[in-house]
Amino acid sequence: MSTHAPNESRVISLRPQAPSPGSDGAAAGAPRRPVGGPQPRAPREPLWRHLVGDVLRRERLAQERTLKDVSEAARISMPYLSEVERGRKEASSEVLAAAAQALGLSLADLLLLAGDELARHARSRMVRGRTSPTSPTAQYDGFCLAA
């Protein structure tokens, strides 16, 4: 049974209410939040599509080529290649091979460059103390995992 009048609407705020002056800000039985707001998250490992996209864009810009030029040479639509470069699309191996070839790289070259970026990221995490020396990412040397 409802406690409000039948023709009245009731609004329930989804935002936390500011504490009223003179109160400690916590409702009876409500969990307390840590002081200082939300804790920052530890940086995540980059996604493979971001690494590959960064390599493609870096190589294209180093060659001073336009997105249109490379997309035409690779026979990939310009909007799709742009999405791949920005890491928004997970491209197939065929698309990656075509984009790499249009830039004068092999698919292996592209993947090795992206793998080097991943290894560099793993090393920087290890230096900052975020990865234990026994984790697989810490043992990655760019080509294979240490046994």
**Block residue for tokens 């493979």:** 48
Angle made by CA atoms 104, 107, 109, in degrees to the nearest 5 = 70
The pLDDT value recorded for residue 44 is: 78
Per-residue pLDDT in tens (0 to 9) along the chain, 147 residues: 556 566 666 666 676 666 555 555 555 555 555 566 666 665 678 999 999 999 999 999 999 999 999 999 999 999 999 999 999 999 999 999 999 999 999 999 999 999 999 999 988 888 776 555 444 444 444 444 443
The pLDDT value recorded for residue 45 is: 84
